[in-house]
Structure 1
Amino acid sequence: MESIIARLKPLLDYDDRYQIISWLFLRLLALIYLSAFASLASQITGLVGSQGILPLDNHFALAQQHLGDQAWLRFPSIFWLTGTDDGLLQSAALLGILLSLMLLIGRWQRSVLILLFLLYLSLYHAGQVFMNFQWDTLLLEAGFLSIFLVGGANPLLIFLFDWLLFRLRFMSGLFKLFSNDPSWSGFTALNYYFETQPLPHIGAWYAHQLPDLLLKAGVGLTLFSELIVPFFIFLPRKFRLAAAGITILMQLLIIATSNHNFINFLTIALCLFLLDDKLIKSIVPARLVTNIKSTHNSVGSIRSFMIILCFIAIPTSSLISFSAKLWDHSVIKQSLPLAETVQHFGIGHLYHIFPTMQTERHELIIQGSNDGRAWRSYQFNYKPDDATDRLRFNLPHQPRLDWMLWFVPTQHPVQIYWFDQFMRQVKAGSPSVTSLLARNPYPDTPPKYLRVLVYRYSFTNSEEKADTGHWWKTEFLGEFPHLSPRSP
């Protein structure tokens, strides 16, 4: 190990160009962790608690039944040791909030970062389908790499942060091309995106009204920023600065038109590593610069070895998985279990944001009745329920039940399974589950009957909005699941 570190010493030595950058990134990461744990604290028991939609104890029992002693390796989590009690799930999220605040003020940073990573990894696996999102794995890998950022950045670690940002951006663009989706190849994706995204806010309605030429230009800018700009990351300084500027601009445009929780803020934070202290000193107050004390240490053998191990494992895992998506080759298939093992620990994942574009918005309206004639609707916090509902901001919070309902009209077996479990808990009147709703029309006794109606929702135009005051036009399609699945 010592000889390997000695040969790679120039890449492991402290790089003083990133002292302020590293300090700022850790503070931004603390805020993102804070928002992620706070969001989960209000939902976790309703999603996977003992009376939740997908109880964690059932999940672990099935994992042990099928995987035996390997279950913990497939779903690494502290809950294997502590148990799956609702109080423990809630406590893990609350502890994450506390640790995020400690990171924000710079106390015991490395120990805190290790605990934050372990807690979020545990909740990631506990959350099952409700945590199966690319922003969750993006936060896990950024959080894991940040453990080694304490003590000072070095070229190898900066490369790993750059590789994470590159994968997020370039893979998302490439999968758009390989999906053969006509809305991307025909430059019409933004004609649908603002209207059909999972949880649009008011900015999406206004963006949808833009002229067709501007929407097509927006598709072109998206593809340019995802297919060309990511390569600037590995070029000289002026290209890196351009990559940061364009990527940050794209994230701000997305924030202005979409509710995508914390992913855009985390992407902006990752762009910091494309800058350097020389530039940051000209932007941030001089007093802040002088208050940031050097925290770098001499190269430690364990820390250096771990960074080298990450340098091998993360690119290898992500490249194997990426290759498997593109080519059907026996060697690649044989390597997939190794890549998947790495990914179970939250690192080395693929990214493919919106590879296909939905062209219709199908909304589920859940209703209850005691006589089969008079029906009352359950209301959700953020997803559209009524044509007059104001489009709300939920950034950086992710209401995971509201979000997941967007997938159900595809009628994919995974979506049907969790949705059936959700309906059973609503029928049983589970307080944990109904607490995830904005309005439960049967707060005392659950109704005898439930039904799910499906409507096509589309934005009104400016004239229709002025005449009716409605944000949406609705068209009844039928009763779920007795209608054709939404595609894609």
Structure 2
Amino acid sequence: MGKIALTKDALLWCMSAIYLFAFVSLYSQIPGLYGDNGILPARLVLPVDSKPELKKFQHQPTLLWLLPAIGLDVPNGMDFICILGAAISLICMISRRMRDAFMFAALWFLYFSVYQVGQTFLWFQWDILLLETGFLTILLAPMHLFKWRDPVCRHHDSIMMWLMKWLLFRLMFASGVVKLTSMCPTWWGLTALDWHYESQCIPTPLAWYAHQLPEWFQRLSVVMTYVIEILLPFLFFSPIRNLRLFAFFGQILLQVLIIITGNYNFFNLLTIALCISLLDDQFLGRNNNKNLSANQSSLMSRLMSRLSTTISLVTYAGMVYAMVKYFKLTINTKQYTVESEIAFTSDEFFEAIQVAMPYTIGFGIASLALEVLSALWRCLSEDSGFFNKLWSLFQCLIMTFAAVGMFTISLVPHCVVDRTAYHNLWPEIHKMKESTDFLHLTHSYGLFRRMTGVGGRPEVIIEGSYYPESGWKPYEFMYKPGNLSAMPPFVAPHQPRLDWQMWFAALGSYEHNKWFVNLIYRLLDGQQEVLDLIAHNPFENKPPKYVRAKLYHYSYTKFGDTNADWWKRWNAQEYLPTVNKDNLMEYVRKSGIIKKVKKPKKGEVTEEPTLAKEVTVQIRELIGHLPGPTLICSLFIPAVIMSYFF
């Protein structure tokens, strides 16, 4: 692989931007989600007791334990953390010299701190992926103490970049395999995309058009998804640059198509950032071949070029052959379609995965060993003094130790897709993984495991009323489907976490979503912080006396329908029976979401707010009311412009 100085810096810049999206998006929702009057008050996760803060921190490592020392309670503390995280992200985006291990360690710990109290609204795979990628970014970023100097590229950077590729491999490979190991009939029948575009959480307007594509094209798209997610990841570690670039463009194509048809916050951008690890500086415009001698360029490079071209063509031909064989691809010349069908059984697939998993581990070990040996050789062969060589070698050995450790514990989540491989791992590896679980350094992934919404997406509609006999009025959420004529939005990279949880709530029952009952109580109480998370409150003067929830099934309208709406719905049934505040009072008292405010006694001196609290409150009053997408754009666009000049 060629030089990666520009590539590494591009990846660090992208991680800075993604951290900005994550912190700002969360910041805009803190009062309604985690405030004292929110749906899941964060103070309940950090109970007040007599234990020393240090012991509390050891049990649950989060900066929120320490912020009361500067006068910040839990909600203000979360505001402070997100503001600080956004500020550091902006600095890292603007200044290349500031993109170092210390800054990214701060970003990782800040996000880790809010994750500790995030509860169900932060338990998404992309939040875990951001923590894992963020930790690897700390190892990749330079230890840059002297900010007035430009950071230099180090020989062991390629080892850390390899860890990024390994994470990308695990993410994509597992996401492809679990679609078949789940035994979901839509994935096995190649009909998943017949339902995906309308059943995903928050579709975009283009998803409506993608849903109208012919069935044969949808089936072929599922086949291509399997190829991109299961086969192409093996090319990530290819020594042949053309194959790596082919795998890169395949992944980018998939991520871009997901971005334009679905609002998956910063997840796809984070995956694209990981894909940068497949590139080199030559791709980004820097020529790495200037130092080649004339003989090398005329003879050796020609031979290597022809060999790599031959291997590449054989690889492409093999992939086409595998697609035709295992998915029965045939061209229907009469109807101008491509017919497809899975040509292997579930038993054959499980057997193939069982055989392949040990090879993926061995492949990873061999690839990492080769990368380490190459880095060590560069350290020994560099044209510098003895002590510089010794220092480079020492750094390389330290990073090799860290890389081997990260790779070892990652084998546990990697093998989750196959029970045999999982149980065949040495017990010591499982123990190593368990000892680091509290830091969330590595995790298993598997997106779109089963296709939901087959036959119509379930959607919960919350309604309120002063008097049930006089009719009901619906609450309109900002982004999730509700109003049949409302166009689906573009909202990424912002993640409206309440809208997302409403999607999950529709897949189950309110008994299994305790936060939903809290939401209903906040609506009955007319809590403004929660109402700010909703697009339209039909009860502006005073809250309703009664609230209920109904479950509908939604599907897209089609081309040619006389109805101009985007959606149609049917089959209304009860999700939550009609309740009032009295019905929920016993529950909310036990849950502790009602905070008892102590009024100061006459003559009692109240504490003056600290500078940190005053600044945090002022920033909240100044920009906290802005919608997430607006706030993100207002910070991201100036940062991009400024980064061009610095």
Alignment partner, residue 198 of structure 2: 195
Matched, 1:179 2:182: yes
Shift, 1:81, TM fit: 2.1
Alignment partner, residue 547 of structure 2: 450
User: Aligned AA for 1:480?
Assistant: Y
Distance 1:354 1:162 in 2: 21
Shift, 1:412, TM fit: 6.1
Of residues 399, 403, 413, the one that matches 1:307 is 399
User: SS of the counterpart of 1:60?
Assistant: coil
Conserved? CA contact 1:44–1:127, under 8 Å: no
Gaps in structure 2 of 5+ consecutive residues? 143-152, 288-387, 578-646
Alignment partner, residue 20 of structure 2: 34
Following superposition of structure 1 onto structure 2, how do residues 222-371 of structure 1 map, counting pairs within 5 Å?
A: 222-236=225-239, 237-281=241-285, 307-324=399-416, 326-327=418-419, 329=423, 336=430, 338-358=432-452, 359=454, 360-371=456-467
Conserved? CA contact 2:174–2:417, under 8 Å: no
Alignment partner, residue 19 of structure 1: 5
Alignment partner, residue 78 of structure 1: 63
Shift, 1:308, TM fit: 3.6
Alignment partner, residue 476 of structure 1: 571
Alignment partner, residue 216 of structure 2: 213
Matched, 1:130 2:130: no
Higher mean C-alpha deviation, range 336-345 or range 23-32: 336-345
Shift, 1:282, TM fit: 6.0
Distance 2:249 2:168 in 1: 14
CA distances 1:383-441 after superposition (whole Å, capped 9, x unpaired): 01111011110011100000111111232688521211222222222222111111122
Alignment partner, residue 294 of structure 1: none
Conserved? CA contact 2:510–2:576, under 8 Å: no
Shift, 1:343, TM fit: 3.8
Conserved? CA contact 2:2–2:282, under 8 Å: no
The Cα RMSD (Å) is: 2.7
Shift, 1:108, TM fit: 2.9
User: Aligned AA for 1:365?
Assistant: I
Alignment partner, residue 165 of structure 1: 168
Distance 2:259 2:79 in 1: 29
User: Aligned AA for 1:76?
Assistant: P
Q: How many residues align?
A: 450
User: Aligned AA for 1:245?
Assistant: F
Conserved? CA contact 2:554–2:570, under 8 Å: yes
Conserved? CA contact 2:557–2:566, under 8 Å: yes
CA distances 1:118-169 after superposition (whole Å, capped 9, x unpaired): 1111122221111111111222222222223233352321111111111110
Change (3 A) 1:70 1:193: farther
Of residues 463, 468, 474, the one that matches 2:560 is 463
Conserved? CA contact 1:196–1:361, under 8 Å: yes
Conserved? CA contact 1:148–1:303, under 8 Å: no
Conserved? CA contact 1:452–1:480, under 8 Å: yes
Change (3 A) 1:302 1:99: farther
Tell me which structure has the larger Cα radius of gyration: 2
User: Aligned AA for 2:258?
Assistant: I
User: SS of the counterpart of 1:407?
Assistant: helix
Matched, 1:92 2:188: no
CA distances 1:260-295 after superposition (whole Å, capped 9, x unpaired): 111111211211111101121169xxxxxxxxxxxx
Alignment partner, residue 46 of structure 1: 32
Gaps in structure 1 of 5+ consecutive residues? 1-14, 284-296, 483-488
Distance 1:184 1:312 in 2: 35
Distance 2:568 2:263 in 1: 21
Conserved? CA contact 2:523–2:530, under 8 Å: yes
User: Aligned AA for 1:175?
Assistant: V
Change (3 A) 1:381 1:231: same
Higher mean C-alpha deviation, range 106-115 or range 351-360: 106-115
Conserved? CA contact 1:366–1:453, under 8 Å: yes
Shift, 1:339, TM fit: 2.2
Using structure 2 for the length normalisation, give the TM-score: 0.65
Alignment partner, residue 423 of structure 1: 520
Distance 1:55 1:240 in 2: 46
CA distances 1:166-207 after superposition (whole Å, capped 9, x unpaired): 111001111111101111111000000001000001010000
Of residues 508, 519, 538, the one that matches 1:411 is 508
Change (3 A) 1:327 1:72: farther
User: SS of the counterpart of 2:495?
Assistant: coil
Change (3 A) 1:380 1:17: same
Distance 1:24 1:375 in 2: 53
Conserved? CA contact 1:202–1:391, under 8 Å: yes
Change (3 A) 1:396 1:338: same
CA distances 1:436-462 after superposition (whole Å, capped 9, x unpaired): 111122234221111001110000001
Using structure 1 for the length normalisation, give the TM-score: 0.85
Distance 1:369 1:462 in 2: 36
Conserved? CA contact 1:145–1:161, under 8 Å: yes
Alignment partner, residue 481 of structure 2: 384
Identical pairs, percent? 36
Alignment partner, residue 291 of structure 1: none
Shift, 1:71, TM fit: 6.6
Shift, 1:36, TM fit: 1.2
Shift, 1:342, TM fit: 2.4
Shift, 1:73, TM fit: 5.4
Distance 1:425 1:362 in 2: 23
Higher mean C-alpha deviation, range 449-458 or range 81-90: 81-90
Alignment partner, residue 613 of structure 2: none
User: SS of the counterpart of 2:178?
Assistant: helix
Change (3 A) 1:307 1:61: farther
User: SS of the counterpart of 2:3?
Assistant: helix
User: Aligned AA for 1:248?
Assistant: I
User: Aligned AA for 1:273?
Assistant: S
Distance 1:259 1:345 in 2: 28
